[in-house]
């Protein structure tokens, strides 16, 4: 009996691994699952991982995404936020769906495009992964050529920058070198839990405006 992937149930916080799948299988599964699926997919050279996020995962994803967007707006930088868009390149056999991803330096090159083809289009400049129940497969993102990847595990923000085809941990972000992100992001997430989202982000907007003015 052939499986319809719309029938596949992955409980929040759980993963399903499928092996020995070729690229055509991966494309078929994506089509069958549809664009509005709750689960996220990652494919690397024959192995497909399907993961369903927890509520805490979504809280961290949304708030860190908002921190990124407020920072870019304060810098008056044009950007495109593509959320969990499926990033894939059949030439390298890689596919990934980050929690959030952004075009910043290369925004103008993909502005107005309805579909991305990473064989010819540049990859997003920044991707975010929230890892509360699983470990991000860095090699996916390295082979996709994502210049900067943030990984948050519920306590610590890890900033990884691409150097000679591999990620190296950095104390600062290439996108926001003047922001103390490793202390700032966990601090804002905790503040949000204590004081609420609107109050926290309003204070952050004032704080970042001061930093921008002092640059």
Position 152 in a domain:
yes
Q: CATH code at 184?
A: 3.90.1570
Domain extent, residue 145, equals: 55-214
Position 166 in a domain:
yes
- In whole angstroms, give the CA distance from residue 139 to residue 144: 8
Which residues are paired to 169 by β-bridges?
A: 160
- In whole angstroms, give the CA distance from residue 7 to residue 32: 10
pTM higher than 0.85: no
**Do residues 174 and 55 make contact, with C-beta atoms less than 8 angstroms apart?**
no
Domain count across the chain: 1
- Per-residue pLDDT of the chain (215 residues), as tens digits, is 355 555 556 656 667 778 888 888 888 888 877 776 667 778 887 888 877 766 677 889 999 999 999 999 999 999 999 998 889 999 988 888 899 999 999 999 999 998 899 999 999 999 999 986 666 677 889 999 999 999 998 899 999 999 999 999 999 999 999 899 999 999 999 999 999 999 999 999 998 987 777 66
Strand (E) positions, 28-136?
40-44, 47-51, 80-81, 87-89, 94-96, 100-103, 126-130
Position 187 in a domain:
yes
Position 90 in a domain:
yes
Position 88 in a domain:
yes
Position 23 in a domain:
no
């Amino acid at each position: 009996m052939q499986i319809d992937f719309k029938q596949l149930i992955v409980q929040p916080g759980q993963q399903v691994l499928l092996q020995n799948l070729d690229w055509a299988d991966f494309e078929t599964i994506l089509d069958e699952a549809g664009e509005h699926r709750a689960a996220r997919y990652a494919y690397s050279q024959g192995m497909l991982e399907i993961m369903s996020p927890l509520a805490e995962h979504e809280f961290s994803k949304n708030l860190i995404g908002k921190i990124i967007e407020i920072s870019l707006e304060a810098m008056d930088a044009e950007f495109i936020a593509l959320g969990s868009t499926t990033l894939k390149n059949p030439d390298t056999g890689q596919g990934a769906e980050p929690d959030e991803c952004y075009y910043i330096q290369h925004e103008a090159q993909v502005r107005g495009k309805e579909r991305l083809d990473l064989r010819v289009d540049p990859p997003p400049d920044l991707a975010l992964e929230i890892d509360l129940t699983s470990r991000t497969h860095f090699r996916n993102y390295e082979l996709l050529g994502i210049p900067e990847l943030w990984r948050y595990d519920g306590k610590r923000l890890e900033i990884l920058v691409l150097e000679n085809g591999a990620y190296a941990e950095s104390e600062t972000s290439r996108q926001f070198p003047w922001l103390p992100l490793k202390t700032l992001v966990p601090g804002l997430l905790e503040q949000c839990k204590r004081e609420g989202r609107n109050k926290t982000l309003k204070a952050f907007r004032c704080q970042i405006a001061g930093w921008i003015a002092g640059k």
